[in-house]
Chain A
Amino acid sequence: MSKILVIGQQAEGKLNSGIAKVVNAAKAIGGEIHVVVFAADGSAAAAQAAAIDGVTKVIQIDRAENDHGLAVIVEPQIVALAKTGYSHVFAAGTTFGKDLLPRVAAKLGVQQVSDIMAVHGATSFDRPIYAGNAILTVEAPAEPCVVATIRLASFQAAGDAAAAAPIEKQTLDVTLPTHTRFVKLEAQKSERPELQSANRVVSGGRALASSENFSIIYSLADKLKAGVGASRAAVDSGYVPNDMQVGQTGKIIAPELYFAIGISGAIQHLAGIKDARTIVAINKDPEAPIFEVADYGLVGDLFTLVPELESKV
């Protein structure tokens, strides 16, 4: 029977919202599902993990060095745990998971399956390649262990458990390196819904033409209680910070409703929104490729259409 170790990514006492989706991917395989939380004090995040349906145990590993979740610090601890009989190690396909998990795979001597988008069985998975323009089905060797990241946009979150899973505090006897030091995190503080879990997202592109003009995007988003994203071109031009980039190399999202405003629709951007339920595109160029995938397209000047839209929703 499978025994799956899910890396319980957390920050400041909050379990990442993607973990419930990773648990759902694990449920598709079945067996025992353990979530492990690494933190200086992981009590709050561990309790959140224990409340996810399908989780059979939470392992809490408190250690001062775990504070910033550095890959080089967490990896040796996961490797030590994984060797205690786990058949799978899963992490979310976040920058944290992408940074960390290949180290684990290399130490365990296995190839990693990146960005699982469908689970066919304990060792059979689909994953996107070529910016999602092709889907590869792989069969991973079962031994010694399957190591994989989960593409969050492809899975719904597991629900709440009827009864919380047990939480077990553990201490691992692992020597940690000191060659990597956390300096700082410049995070955008925002009251808006988080891009990767928002039901609605409004994104702006190069056509916004300046950082100031992006205010019409924020304004529409606030009216819709939506998260805000951007194309690579808008980020490269410095209109908005990097953490708003949606696409192949930015965030992959799957909102119910997505507005692409002044975004032409390069394949790299489309790779990030393929799983959006409904796409609305507003662009002045009727030939823009975004209209090929949009459910609703509106051609015209975004600077008049967007404020009008805001006033009518």
Chain B
Amino acid sequence: MKALVSVKRVIDYNVRIQVKPDGSGVVTDGVKHSVNPFDEIAMEEAVRLKEKGKVTEIIAVTVGGAKCEETLRTALAFGADRAVHVKVDEEIQSLTAAQALAAVFKKEGTEIFFLGKQAIDDDAAQTGQMVAALLDLPQATFASKVEIDGGKATVTREVDAGLETLEIDLPAIITTDLRLNEPRYLKLPDIMKAKKKPIEVVSLADLGVTAAAALKRVKVATPPKRSKGVMVKTVDELVTALKGKGLI
């Protein structure tokens, strides 16, 4: 069984975001980027399934500009066998990314597709579900446990009410949540080996995809800052303050 894993290049989660003064976006030049943390979890899950013999080949895929090659190299170091780079230089929104990913999924004859549940840049949390809809396939989003058996997957999902378990037929789309696994640390030999693994570069046109109409980004602004409050020294002082405001 072939597994597809998508990885997105995002600003590293430790970076403090700076909004550009002209409101056109956030500062990305000279800022550390890494693989979207949820996609690392997706990658790790596929590698573990391969180690268990449930998956025979892992293909990593990304949609984006030239710099996304380093993201694919990271995925290859994790254990992907090869990669597909859907090269697009302009900004991509979720539906267009989903169309490209769905096309790669079909072309590769993959049976399972792992994606992070959301990317920590635009926080949209849409792409996996859109891929599933475009392919008319089952989806299990926000996965915290995945078991593959025969032509089925049993997936536990983190939902508002608690934990929901679904049984889905393969092929299927699974989006990964934080507690599914803990991604491994990459070792130098794996990083070296990844440099020799093949990356196929394709365009949206190669995949027969026309970009969907986009949401127009009007402006990006810094949210109003919460002002720093007061430090109290004792519980009594705190209780008096809260009572004074009618909060308790």
Contacts and interface: CB of A to CB of B under 8 A. Distances in A.
Given A177-B138, A182-B166, A309-B238, A129 B122 contact: yes
B235 A298 contact: yes
Contacts of A248: 120, 123
Interface stretch (A19-27, A52-60, A92-100): A92-100
A268 B222 CA distance: 16
A7 B95 CA distance: 21
A163 B64 CA distance: 52
B161 A133 contact: no
B29 interface: no
Given A102-B129, A107-B133, A309 B215 contact: no
Interface in B168-222: 168-169, 172, 177-179, 212-222
B166 A114 contact: no
A69 to B, nearest CB: 10
B139 A71 contact: yes
Interface of A: 11, 70-72, 75, 94-96, 98-107, 109-115, 124, 128-141, 177, 179-188, 196, 224, 232, 235-236, 241-243, 248-249, 251, 256-257, 267-268, 274, 278-280, 291-299, 305, 308-309, 312-313
Contact of A112 (B16, B126, B137): B126
Contacts of B214: 111
B142 interface: yes
A179 B138 contact: yes
Given A138-B217, A236-B179, A293 B228 contact: yes
20 contacts: A11-B161, A95-B157, A99-B129, A102-B127, A103-B129, A111-B213, A111-B214, A130-B120, A130-B121, A132-B223, A133-B17, A139-B215, A141-B213, A141-B215, A185-B165, A242-B158, A257-B242, A280-B238, A309-B235, A312-B235
Contacts of A180: 138-140, 166-169
Main secondary structure of the interface of A (DSSP, over half): mixed
A124 B215 CA distance: 10
B161 A187 contact: yes
- Interface size bracket, B side: 35 or more
B160 A138 contact: no
Nearest to B170: A179
B162 A187 contact: yes
B164 A184 contact: yes
A243 B19 CA distance: 32
Contact of A111 (B95, B142, B157, B235): B95
B66 interface: no
B132 interface: yes
Contacts of B154: 183
Contacts of B220: 129, 134-137
A202 B111 CA distance: 44
Given A280-B238, A295-B230, 4 more contacts: A96-B159, A104-B133, A131-B120, A297-B230
Contact of A130 (B123, B128, B167): B123
Contacts of B93: 111
Interface in B230-245: 230-236, 238-239, 241-242, 245
A1 B242 CA distance: 46
Interface of B: 11, 13, 16-17, 19, 26, 93-95, 98, 117-118, 120-134, 136-142, 144, 154, 157-169, 172, 177-179, 212-223, 226, 228-236, 238-239, 241-242, 245, 247-248
A287 to B, nearest CB: 12
A139 B226 CA distance: 27
Contacts of A113: 215
Contacts of B179: 235-236, 242
A82 B58 CA distance: 38
Given A224-B248, A274-B223, A280-B238, A243 B138 contact: no
B231 A111 contact: no
A64 B184 CA distance: 44
A20 B163 CA distance: 25
Contacts of B232: 296-298
Contacts of B157: 95
Contact of A129 (B121, B158, B216): B121
Contact of B178 (A137, A236, A299): A236
Interface pairs A-B: 6 shortest CB-CB: A102-B129, A295-B229, A102-B126, A106-B130, A103-B133, A106-B133
